[in-house]
A = this chain, B = another copy of it.
Amino acid sequence: MSFKFAPTPASLPPRNASLVLRQPANLPVYFQPLNPLQFILRAAEIYPEKLALVHPDAKYPVFYSFSVWCQRIQNLAYALIQAGIKPGDRVAVIAPNSPLIADAHHGVLAAQAVLCLINTRLKPSEVAYILDHSGSSIILVDHEYRHLLPPDLKTPVIVSNDSGREDDPYEQFLSNGRAFSQERGWKGLEYQADESASALLCYTSGTTGRPKGVVTTLRGSYLAAVANAYESRIHVDSTYLWILPMFHAGGWTFPWALTFAFATQITLRTVDFTLIWKHFNNSGVTHYSSAPTVQIGIVNDPAAKPLSRPISAIIAGAAPTASLISSLEAKGIQPIHVYGLTETYGPFTRNYVQPSWAALSLQERSKLMARQGHGFAMAQDARVVYLPKDSNDTELVDVPRDGKTVGEIVTRGNIVMKEYFRDPEATTKAFRGGSFNTGDLAVMHPDGAIAIVDRSKDIIISGGENASSLAIEQELSSHPDVLEASVVARNHIKWGERPHAFIILKVDSRTKWKGRHDAFGEELKAYSKTRLPGFACPEWVQVVEQLPKTSTGKILKTDLRKIVAKL
């Protein structure tokens, strides 16, 4: 590359800068609160000149060493403090994979604030809801996503042009932070004394129509990050390619796993298969994470060819199929199948491959590899328990290990969220019986491995995004002609799944659309595009006379799924 990159003057650390925060008073000598912020400081101390963060394909590519990146993180912390951010305040970030969001994972913690990550694929109305509900005190936004912000916003906004150049407003913000610091440096920032203090606030549409704010702790983030580095065997000689959006469950704690490991990370603004293969072949990539739908795109890209070195692919979001596993392996990509939710910091189980599987056929082996497996390093057991008989039932009883009896996956421990933000009712419900109830239905096999059979809350995984069928149904139901809507996932060759909507028309509207159900479908799709993110818009609309229901009036989605499975 002919381009020569020079970090802004404010990004260059002073000589012999101390890389230790001010220690809180009165801690026992043998106790240090766990905090993933520590990892970047340690990396800057031990490998200051090593390439830490690379953003190679933007208009202005940037390359930061651990030393420089660490200084930028300190600058961000001081800039936030100067902007009035106090411990516990929420700092919202809306950005694709880029230095801004990578910085924020560390800098916001250094200001003892809480990082509120907002999905760039949401609608402005959803972003507005999250900004309001989170009570975010400041917003850091990538220039491409400014339009997501409400027009009447009172909250201060810092825009990043993603250039790393001095005239970039985000860079000016960092420079102001450096000036404000007056070189007090890390010693001017206090280490958070409470390891159960909040780290991230990530809104999920995972379980109801209303986004819920998942709050994670510093302790959980630290332990999950180390677990991810260990399970994926990420070390100082590793290079991680950011395909998974960092705003997805905080990038499954990989922003910290990578600094813990002293690994190099490469950020990609968009999922571009040609770029991905360029980096696979030329940038020493050793690891990446993504959902199966993206993995399918990777292995089927024209640029795909067998690699000269192996790469590990961490797969979550859905189980990899036999066809995907064989395609990955043929390219020299080793799949690591993990399972988790935003509420569990990303992965909390892993499919632990057994030596005996090597002798099996691909088909048999893939079936075993598709199971969600066992509790992850540092996570507690993943249990499968009988569903509650009624809403007062809090008793958790494990289903037998028969591979047949369906129950709900639950877990507890350090890799479980602290709470839903400002929603004690939802928290209590999610923590029924002293465990986190995932809402995912599964069986437990005789070897203790769990295997998902269905998602009890009807999530549709569309292009790697979680679309809540409940939320979609609510929006569709707001159309003046719609009496009732029920949405299920239908397989889609490109996106993995897309929503298929079953609609009962209002009696008054039936004549209006008689013989023109296709036209109604087009109208409803157009309507939904104004109210839902693209990935959540129904791809198919089917008008029906009635919906299959239980005796208590609950729609039998299993029956609807059988219908779309035949389409």
Q: Annotate A334-357 by CB proximity to B: 1 below 8 A, 0 otherwise.
A: 000000000000000000101100
**Among A31, A380, A418: residue with most chain B CB under 10 A:** A31
Given contacts A31-B414, A233-B235, A352-B46, contact A226 B381 (CB under 8 A): no
- Enumerate A47-86 residues with CB–CB distance to B below 8 Å: 47, 50
A270, CB-defined interface residue at 8 Å: no
Tell me the bound Cα distance from A226 to B29 in angstroms.
20
Tell me the bound Cα distance from A231 to B536 in angstroms.
44
Tell me the bound Cα distance from A412 to B26 in angstroms.
13
Tell me the bound Cα distance from A401 to B48 in angstroms.
15
- Enumerate A371-390 residues with CB–CB distance to B below 8 Å: 374-375, 377-378, 380-381
Task: Identify which of B32, B47, B220 contacts A30 (C-beta below 8 A).
Answer: B220
Given contacts A230-B230, A434-B29, contact A45 B448 (CB under 8 A): yes
**Is there an interface contact between A413 and B30, defined as CB atoms closer than 8 Å?**
yes
Task: Identify which of B42, B260, B352 contacts A375 (C-beta below 8 A).
Answer: B42
A477, CB-defined interface residue at 8 Å: no
Tell me the bound Cα distance from A236 to B29 in angstroms.
34
User: Which residues from chain B contact A375 at a C-beta distance below 8 Å?
Assistant: 42, 45
User: Which residues from chain B contact A31 at a C-beta distance below 8 Å?
Assistant: 196, 219, 413-414
Given contacts A30-B416, A418-B30, contact A229 B230 (CB under 8 A): yes
Q: Annotate A210-224 by CB proximity to B: 1 below 8 A, 0 otherwise.
A: 000000010110000
User: Which residues from chain B contact A434 at a C-beta distance below 8 Å?
Assistant: 23, 29
A16, CB-defined interface residue at 8 Å: yes
Given contacts A29-B436, A230-B226, A412-B32, contact A46 B374 (CB under 8 A): yes
Tell me the bound Cα distance from A220 to B196 in angstroms.
17
- Enumerate A410-465 residues with CB–CB distance to B below 8 Å: 412-414, 416-418, 431, 434-436, 448
Tell me the bound Cα distance from A531 to B235 in angstroms.
49
Tell me the bound Cα distance from A50 to B355 in angstroms.
9
A20, CB-defined interface residue at 8 Å: yes
* Smallest CB gap from A354: residue in B: B47
User: Which residues from chain B contact A412 at a C-beta distance below 8 Å?
Assistant: 29-30, 32
**Is there an interface contact between A448 and B30, defined as CB atoms closer than 8 Å?**
no
User: Which residues from chain B contact A352 at a C-beta distance below 8 Å?
Assistant: 46-47, 236
* Smallest CB gap from A261: residue in B: B230
**Is there an interface contact between A414 and B220, defined as CB atoms closer than 8 Å?**
no
* Smallest CB gap from A226: residue in B: B226
Tell me the bound Cα distance from A352 to B355 in angstroms.
33
**Is there an interface contact between B414 and A45, defined as CB atoms closer than 8 Å?**
no
- Enumerate A30-46 residues with CB–CB distance to B below 8 Å: 30-32, 34, 42, 45-46
* Smallest CB gap from A377: residue in B: B260
User: Which residues from chain B contact A448 at a C-beta distance below 8 Å?
Assistant: 45-46
Tell me the bound Cα distance from A389 to B511 in angstroms.
96
User: Which residues from chain B contact A354 at a C-beta distance below 8 Å?
Assistant: 47
**Among A28, A401, A431: residue with most chain B CB under 10 A:** A28
**Is there an interface contact between B436 and A32, defined as CB atoms closer than 8 Å?**
no
Tell me the bound Cα distance from A220 to B29 in angstroms.
12
* Smallest CB gap from A419: residue in B: B30
Tell me the bound Cα distance from A375 to B342 in angstroms.
32
Tell me the bound Cα distance from A236 to B230 in angstroms.
11
User: Which residues from chain B contact A32 at a C-beta distance below 8 Å?
Assistant: 380, 412-414
**Is there an interface contact between A431 and B29, defined as CB atoms closer than 8 Å?**
yes
User: Which residues from chain B contact A29 at a C-beta distance below 8 Å?
Assistant: 412, 416, 431, 434-436
- Enumerate A118-153 residues with CB–CB distance to B below 8 Å: none
Task: Identify which of B47, B401, B417 contacts A16 (C-beta below 8 A).
Answer: B401
User: Which residues from chain B contact A380 at a C-beta distance below 8 Å?
Assistant: 32
**Is there an interface contact between B374 and A414, defined as CB atoms closer than 8 Å?**
no
**Is there an interface contact between A30 and B414, defined as CB atoms closer than 8 Å?**
yes
Distance to closest chain B CB from A214 (angstroms): 11
User: Which residues from chain B contact A229 at a C-beta distance below 8 Å?
Assistant: 230
* Smallest CB gap from A196: residue in B: B31
User: Which residues from chain B contact A378 at a C-beta distance below 8 Å?
Assistant: 226
6 cross-chain pairs, A with B, having the tightest CB-CB distances, nearest first: A32-B413, A30-B416, A29-B431, A46-B374, A29-B412, A46-B352
- Between A and B, 16 residue pairs with Cβ closer than 8 Å are A23-B434, A28-B418, A29-B416, A29-B434, A30-B220, A30-B412, A30-B414, A30-B416, A30-B436, A46-B352, A46-B374, A47-B354, A226-B226, A233-B233, A233-B235, A236-B352
Instruction: List residues of chain A with CB under 8 Å of any chain B CB.
Output: 16, 20, 23, 28-32, 34, 42, 45-47, 50, 196, 217, 219-220, 226, 229-230, 233, 235-236, 260, 352, 354-355, 374-375, 377-378, 380-381, 401, 412-414, 416-418, 431, 434-436, 448
Besides A23-B434, A29-B434, A226-B377, 15 other A-B contacts (C-beta < 8 A)? A29-B416, A29-B436, A30-B196, A30-B436, A31-B196, A31-B414, A32-B414, A45-B448, A46-B374, A47-B352, A47-B354, A226-B378, A233-B233, A236-B352, A260-B377
